[in-house]
Amino acid sequence: MKTVNLQLAKHKNEAVLITRRKKAETIKLQVGEQEITSQPYIRYLGVMIDARLNFKQQVEHVSTKASAVRTSLARLMPNSEDQSKAKDYCCHQWSHQCSHTEYPFGQTR
């Protein structure tokens, strides 16, 4: 990397040890002057990759986000549904009144 003048962003380096062993292990890697300790999972291109490649962390993360969105939508839906029912009722009941409004002295609009 030095021959082509490339440098690593030290704060962005992460490592995960992918293994089938039951005991979780950590390793230390030396990259240039920086030492990187492996983690149980890393985030790569928006996907959480864990040591067993079963994507448990990814599923938990996505399900938490989906639950939050569902809760937000559930809070919005009753309000908008009630309003639309009220509007439908009012439009149906009062539509004939709007076209034949009577004013005093028998004048119509």
Secondary structure of 7-52 as H, E, C letters: CCCHHHCCCECCCCCCCCCCCEEEECCEEEECECEEEECCEEEECC
The pLDDT value recorded for residue 98 is 54
54-98 per-position pLDDT tens digit = 888 888 888 888 888 888 887 776 665 555 565 556 655 555 555
The pLDDT value recorded for residue 33 is 78
Query: With 60 as the cut, is the pLDDT of residue 42 above it?
Result: yes
Average pLDDT value over all residues in the chain:
74
The pLDDT value recorded for residue 72 is 84
Helix (H, G, I), strand (E, B) or coil at 66: helix
